[in-house]
Amino acid sequence: MKIVTYNVNGLRQRVTQFGSLLKLLQSLDADIVCFQEIKVFRQELTADLVMAEGYESFVSCNRNSQRGRGYSGVATFCRVKSAFSSREVALPMAAEEGVTGLLENSSTRKDEVPSIAEGLEEYSREDLLKIDSEGRCIITDHSHFVLFNVYGPRADPDDTERLQFKHTFFEVLQKRWESFLRKGRRVVVVGDLNIAPAAIDHCEPGSEFEKNKFRRWFRSILVESGGPFFDVFRSKHPHRREAFTCWAVHNGAEEFNYGTRIDHILSAGSCLHLEDKVKSHNFFDCHVEECDILTQFKRWKPGNTPRGKAGGRAKLEGSDHAPVFMSLTDISDVKQHSTPPLSARYVRGIHGYQQKLVSLLAKRKVIDQDKTCGVLIAVSNETMTKESCKECEKRSFHDCSVSRFPSDEFVSCLHQRSENAEMLELKFDNAQTQATSGRVQDKLATGQEPKKKARQNQWSQLSLKSFFQKCANPNPSDCPGKTCSENQLCQTSHLESNDSEGTHAKDHELGIGTTSKDQKSQSAHESSANEKNTLALLEWRRIQQFMQDSVPLCKGHKEPCVARVVKKAGPTCGRRFYVCARAEGPSSNPEANCGYFKWAASKSKQR
């Protein structure tokens, strides 16, 4: 049996990278795959993200809108031959979302209010719901062991609120798995815990490394410190250095393997053997065959990140984490069972929503109504005609020239034509997207009129300003193919300010052709335009050269630096600075980033 943990840094992006969810899972080739940081809201869950043939999935999404749309979330995928009446260990017998017992789980009936999990009675219900609001844990019971798929919170040293949240999260998590251990259950914890336990697990520990309270807590739960858990990878490879699973996203740290080991697999509990002579054996010694890092999933590979101009680096495709696997041996089948109710196959709307017959009839009714009004809808808006406009077109030119304003018939014709087109577009848009429909209904409920989408074509309703502009063809006899209403629609956007230009426009409309004077004027205009383009190109090149000259050179390699902007809140937020463009690496490596830093002269514009 094989278990894999992988921080995918966006499930949708990894599915796109591999072509499908099934191909992603098959590339990992494991019986149980645990993803962290899937970055999907519950309402965004679709079959292509969580359903794959031959797999059962269990998902916990971020429920806290304040933390942002793409944030946290975990998912556990179990490879099974059958989801019903199965004896496979990979198929869980029960599943639970969160660590507090207050969210959905397999043992809670629909009419029953979830109760606080054993050992967590000292916490308030509000605090526990806050712990589970970010989608950081899925618990699956596989009979032989209980599996925790965990994504640990990250907290900056000066962010007291997040530090307290992280402390409470791990405290609650520890109490929860301790309750299982007291019952004699075996516990396996996998995931991105955002903690590097020892100096060997970090590229550059620093003097304050050992003082971190979360690092001390992590080591306290390990067997070496009297705790119940084995750090499976470090127990299998106690002296392996530079065994990292995470690298910084923006500074190319993977090139020099400048990272940390924060993705872990922990195991606790007795082995599965029943003989008296091996009662003292533990799950790790008897059943864990191997544990290692799948480095082939790293984004960076030799030769695939050439430096561009000005020190820029090519964007790497993939997660900033590498998967970690554990293979188990001597794992027997379990009693017959079926997939728990928490499975994604039972999530409402996961396969979309069935369209009602009423919605199809509503579309048909709208089309029939428009046809009875004389509107014929063609493939292009330009081919749309309206028979009721014929009476307006038969008016004499004298009547049209008396007033600059059209008659009531003509305005009504144009207005009705625009209204029908707008109504059709709104109806079809509402049928395609429910979100848009919801926003329109909200505006109607509050008494606000929903704005119609502006249509830029020949059937758009004319503005009042357009009727005060001069008609480009004041004589209908010059264009015998056009009627009065068409002449009104073909008005110019500006008035003629020169007599010679007016004469030229008239001759052109009458089909006389261009004269030699017109040709000279046209060539002069083209020459002027070319000159302007040349001047603009030279100015742009000057600006580019100025920008390149203003970029400082790093002192270590004498290469152009790259510009960055401070995004962290504080007095320097939004300020630009320059750093060495090379990949982050050990200070002893001359090919790595030299550590050059310089503030830019001015503060960048805040967006």
Q: Are 72 and 58 in contact (CB under 8 A)?
A: no
Hey, is 23 helix, strand or coil?
helix
53 is annotated as contributing to ligand binding? no
- Residue-by-residue DSSP string for 510-558: HT----HHHHHHHHHHHHHHHHHHHHHHHHHHHHHHHHHHHSPBPTTT-
Total count of residues recorded for the chain: 607
Residue-level pLDDT at 495: 38
Q: Residue 247: which residues within 8 A CB-CB, separation 6 or more?
A: 253, 254, 257, 258, 259, 298, 300, 320
Is 90 exceeded by the pLDDT of residue 35? yes
Q: Which residues are catalytic?
A: 151, 192, 321
Residue-level pLDDT at 181: 96
Q: Measured at the alpha carbon of residue 246, what is the angle toward residues 137 and 240, in degrees to the nearest 5?
A: 110
Q: Are 299 and 360 in contact (CB under 8 A)?
A: no
Sheet with 94-97: strands ordered across: 94-97, 137-141, 146-151, 187-192, 263-268, 230-231
Of 105-109, 379-383, 465-469, the least confident: 379-383
Cα–Cα distance for residue pair 50/208, rounded to 1 Å: 41
257 is annotated as contributing to ligand binding? no
Extract the tokens encoding 301: 């590979």
Mean pLDDT (the chain) is: 77
Is 60 exceeded by the pLDDT of residue 8? yes
Looking at residue 601, the DSSP 8-state letter turns out to be E
194 is annotated as contributing to ligand binding? yes
192 is annotated as contributing to ligand binding? yes
pTM, 2 dp: 0.66
Is 90 exceeded by the pLDDT of residue 352? no
- Residue recorded with tokens 């550590």: 595
Is 80 exceeded by the pLDDT of residue 148? yes
- With a pLDDT cut of 90, the percent of the chain lying above it is 42
Cα–Cα distance for residue pair 24/3, rounded to 1 Å: 15
Cα–Cα distance for residue pair 200/198, rounded to 1 Å: 5
Residue-level pLDDT at 241: 93
Q: Are 258 and 592 in contact (CB under 8 A)?
A: yes
- Does 127 or 447 have the greater pLDDT score? 127
Q: Are 283 and 209 in contact (CB under 8 A)?
A: no
* Cα first-last separation, the chain: 51
Task: Say which amino acid occupies 119.
Answer: G
- b (16+ CB within 10 A) / e for 464-499: eeeeeeebebeebeeeeeebbbebbbeeeeeeeeee
Listed residue (245, 237, 241, 242) closest to 256, CA to CA: 242
Instruction: Give, to the nearest 10 degrees, the angle between helix 21-28 and helix 11-18.
Output: 90
Dihedral of alpha carbons 399, 404, 408, 409, sign: positive
Instruction: Give, to the nearest 10 degrees, the angle between helix 357-372 and helix 408-432.
Output: 170
Q: Are 85 and 336 in contact (CB under 8 A)?
A: yes
Residue-level pLDDT at 421: 47
